A and B are shown apart, each in its own frame.
Chain A
């Protein structure tokens, strides 16, 4: 098992490295350049351009730039923003906790009701609860987040819930206000995930209830809830875990549109700004952070499989 975890961790590093390389090459292969963003006098003047590019180190061979960047990453140095010279690590360090908090809140608002509703509608399969859940989840999945965000902005006429530009307050400063500000965006963000997890769990449970071992447990006099606890939930959780892992990865890594509409200074906002300014270093740093969140979450899900389904453990021994 230890070797399995080690293998998975190495896999994460390999993917991470590939992501960085691919993003680096893509950005440098594209015709954009941070110099384009400068004043026209500079951007249009070949001599001035060359001077700025030299200052930014962009005139060096690509290989040199690449190894310079990788070397920096290995020592935790994400470089400096090509736009204003500030530290990329600092900017990500400020944006990442905001996105993580928003994502966690959204995940919480998605998973908790999804588990309840998914289980309930599986137990009452085909009845009213199940039907209503079906409709609610389809609607929830079909509503575009950015649209819902705008609708909420118009409908909720309460400044407590709407920070406006710069109105975001950190948790350490004012927890209540912080949560108030994050509630609406978290709801919007978590809605689709809630719907998908509900559907996945319901489907898994319904399938589990049709299985032979549930039939045997029922024939031995177990009640539906006993069967749920002992037998059915375990089988249903595995596919749901996969879905939830991917969805929550998406929530945590910041979402461009929702952060933008609600003016939350998270990773999504940061990336948008970086790409607008054609700021290689900042954009790359943002990609690394996003990829890291996804990969770590994937690793966590893989490890959870081992806990939930011991068959995977036995498979490892044999392999």
Chain B
């Protein structure tokens, strides 16, 4: 599987409504009750609120949401790289038998880059601007850079130019080349089990974006790594993810297999989001943006989407609905809770 991937063509785990407990046990990354609060001049600002999700081995989980919905903070929290002064609360950030939320910096450092690697958002600025690329490759890859097999892999993913011009500074390469380079470093330096990709294609143009996505899929195939793919672009998520978590106002409002998200979205926000996609809008119709703005949603006591929700009820404004299981999906909506009874 490489190039033509649509929501329907996903093999494996996606659409099977497997039992909760078994799936949780198998999770590679198991996040429960994760909250991140940033300090500010006007008091603490919650960015992530009580988020729970699993990433299974070999799976690509998409995390979508508007800017400020907290999706990048989830990545940073999992890496243990939140800035000083930030508050991290979590019942659990389970990874390979350890709870990352409770590890010391020294132990976290042994996991960073080795077991969990991060592909950053800005390829142009993520490498040191004043050090030649060859030397930086050696920082991260060490002597393996001389390994012909690894060099072959780097060639194969289009990094021949970087290998040919090791004395050039990062500024001498294109954004696409640098993003492939950064992904190669993250994925190949220690062959981690989990890759956190924080909007890796946002700054790239469409054709380069396709190359980078293809590279991620190839690496997933070859190395069997799991990916947490953060994006605000549902179309990209549809192309590469197995499951999708939708974030809004710091909360994870719905998690479902990618096909479900597009064919049977359960949360009103997911529905509005899918309906707003240009590709789901008939050509002769105007786009359907969601009315209102997401500003301040992370401060609301109830459902963060309540002010913009067409189906809002009184309870939505005061209490956050508990997540309930619906087939393979998990939804946090009072409407869903009311319709079909109890949570799994």
Contact = CB atoms under 8 A, between A and B. Distances in A.
A223 B169 contact: no
Contact of B140 (A125, A212, A220, A309): A220
A219 B130 contact: no
A211 B112 CA distance: 18
Given A125-B84, A310-B169, A311-B171, A216 B112 contact: no
Interface in A226-257: 230-231, 234-235
30 contacts: A125-B84, A126-B85, A211-B125, A212-B120, A212-B122, A212-B125, A213-B126, A215-B81, A216-B118, A216-B126, A216-B182, A217-B139, A218-B112, A219-B79, A219-B112, A219-B113, A219-B118, A220-B112, A221-B109, A221-B110, A221-B112, A221-B113, A222-B139, A230-B131, A231-B128, A231-B131, A234-B130, A310-B131, A311-B129, A311-B130
Interface of B: 79, 81, 84-85, 109-114, 117-118, 120, 122, 125-132, 139-140, 169, 171-172, 182, 185-186, 189
Contacts of B139: 217, 222, 230
A234 B131 contact: yes
A310 B182 contact: no
Contacts of B189: 220
Contacts, number: 75
A213 B129 contact: yes
A308 interface: yes
B130 A220 contact: no
A221 B108 CA distance: 8
Nearest to B124: A212
Q: Is the interface of A mostly helix, strand, loop or mixed?
A: helix
A142 interface: no
Contacts of B114: 221
Interface string A305-319: 000111100100000
Contacts of A310: 130-132, 169
Contacts of B120: 212, 215-216, 219
Nearest to A227: B128
B81 A308 contact: no
Nearest to B172: A314
A268 B112 CA distance: 57
A220 B125 contact: no
A234 B128 CA distance: 9
B255 to A, nearest CB: 25
B130 A215 contact: no
Interface in A173-201: none
Nearest to A220: B113
Contacts of A230: 128, 131, 139
A234 B135 CA distance: 14
Contacts of A308: 130
Given A216-B127, A221-B114, A310-B132, 13 more contacts: A212-B122, A216-B182, A217-B128, A218-B81, A218-B112, A220-B186, A221-B113, A222-B113, A230-B131, A230-B139, A310-B130, A311-B130, A314-B172
A85 B323 CA distance: 97
A272 to B, nearest CB: 44
Contacts of B172: 314
B180 to A, nearest CB: 14
A230 B132 CA distance: 12
A215 B126 contact: yes
A111 to B, nearest CB: 21
A215 B79 CA distance: 11
A202 to B, nearest CB: 15
B170 to A, nearest CB: 9
A311 B112 contact: no
Contacts of A218: 81, 112
Contact of A219 (B85, B117, B128): B117
B48 to A, nearest CB: 18
B127 A213 contact: yes
A213 B125 contact: yes
Contacts of B79: 219
Nearest to B121: A212
Which of B127, B128, B131 has most chain A Cβ within 10 Å?
A: B128
B302 to A, nearest CB: 34
A61 B109 CA distance: 77
A310 B129 CA distance: 9
B18 to A, nearest CB: 32
Nearest to B198: A219
A213 B171 CA distance: 13
Contact of B117 (A215, A220, A223): A220
A219 B129 contact: no
Contacts of B85: 126
